[in-house]
Structure 1
């Protein structure tokens, strides 16, 4: 049986890559927990789709598969998560935030910064 870790290409990963991977993992875990708690409601499925998207992005970066495309898709994907959360929850202040929501939105905001940084820094590479 093939070793999945053998497909990973870690040497080219920078600290920014690792930060983005960690932040994507945090938001994936939050979405997984929320998805499972919302099932069988349709929102449970939506959270699980988001989980899969973040996990796929992590794997693609680790496997060095179309990283630039991952950054380009990851930016609107993550940004949409933030906008959808705001539209669905309509928070009027900090008191409306749950711990999971706060952790997730901070992770997603920082992930956006990391993805933009990676995209811009890749443009500078020869």
Structure 2
């Protein structure tokens, strides 16, 4: 069975794609860890975000509507950054940037990298 028969199209992935896949995976893993730590309704929202990142990675690896995935991934990931900031620093009790924390820093760096990668890929395929 070839990669395309198995629903996998890694041959067409560039190094830029792989950077985006790693960034989305890192963010997904951080969301799982935080979802377990936080629990409750907020924890569930972390798991939902993980599913979003996982769906995007799966679509890219499968070669399924990549351009649409890039276009949807930018506001999805940007929304994650905005929600994080509002929940923690605007309405929450944390102080920016002193209380970003390790998970927050790793996650936001990965998400910023992901947005840049998605924007470049979207531009290249337009």
Give the paired residue count. 119
Q: Distance in 2 between matches of 1:94 and 1:42?
A: 25
Which residue in the other structure is 2:31 paired with?
A: 31
Distance in 2 (CA, whole Å) between partners of 1:26 and 1:71 is 17
| Partners of 1:12 and 1:114 in 2: CA distance | 16
Return the alpha-carbon distance in structure 1 between the equivalents of residues 96 and 63 of structure 2: 40
User: What's the counterpart of residue 79 of structure 1?
Assistant: 78
2:11 is paired with a residue whose SS is coil
Cα distance between partner residues in 1 of 2:122 and 2:50:
22
Q: Separation in 2 of the partners of 1:47 and 1:118?
A: 26
Give 2:106's aligned residue.
Answer: 103
> Which runs of no fewer than 5 residues in structure 2 stay unpaired?
none
Find the residue that maps to 2:58 and give its secondary structure: helix
Question: Which among 92, 98, 114 is matched to residue 117 of structure 2?
Answer: 114
Gaps of 5+ in 1: none
After superposition, what is the alpha-carbon deviation per residue over 1:70-110, rounded to whole angstroms, capped at 9, x for unaligned? 01110000000000000011154332111000000010011
Quote the Cα distance in structure 2 between the aligned partners of 1:62 and 1:94: 35
Counterparts in 2 of 1:1-126, with a 5 A limit?
A: 6-39=6-39, 41-90=40-89, 92-123=95-126
Show structure 1 runs of 4+ deviating over 6 A: none
